Amino acid sequence: MFAVVREAIDPRTFEGAIRPGDGAAVKFFGVVRDRADDGRAVCALSYEAFEPLATAEFEKIAGEARERFGDVALAIVHRIGEIGVGEVAVAVVASAAHRGAAFDACRYAIDELKRRAPIWKKERYADGSARWRENENVS
């Protein structure tokens, strides 16, 4: 499952991304925070994407994760449009026989997505201002 969506991301929909027989599943949900890195109050984020290229990049990242960490399955979904505080903006699920591979693949996927996917984020602040933000790979 690799997708860019406009509707809310429901974490329960990812149960199907866990392969039967795998002993580990790691789920990461990136949620809109109420504060920017500089401390300003955030009321929402707005995401835009070049959708075909973004989903192709998700698939490429998943292939790289398999090369690096072995037999892992990944699901990557990113939401676009206006997203309120507390809502899920991105979901990554990794499933593998063992927890180490699942954790490593999940971390690799979100870090590479933030670094490479053609997705752009604008922070909207409570004071009415807004600013486009560059993706940063903050752990």
pLDDT at 16: 81
pLDDT at 18: 86
pTM reported for the whole predicted model: 0.93
Question: How many residues in total does the chain contain?
Answer: 139
pLDDT tens track for 25-61: 999 999 999 999 999 999 999 999 999 999 999 999 9
* Percentage, residues of the chain above pLDDT 70: 96
Within 8 A by CB and 6+ apart from 43, the residues are 84, 85, 124, 125, 126
Burial (CB count within 10 angstroms: exposed 0-12, middle 13-18, buried 19+), residue 22? middle
Taken in order of first residue, the domains within the chain and their CATH numbers are 2-126 (3.90.1170.40)
Task: Look at residue 137 and tell me whether its pLDDT is greater than 90.
Answer: no
- Average pLDDT on 110-138 reads 91
Amino acid at 21: G
Return d(Cα 61, Cα 53) in angstroms, integer.
Answer: 12
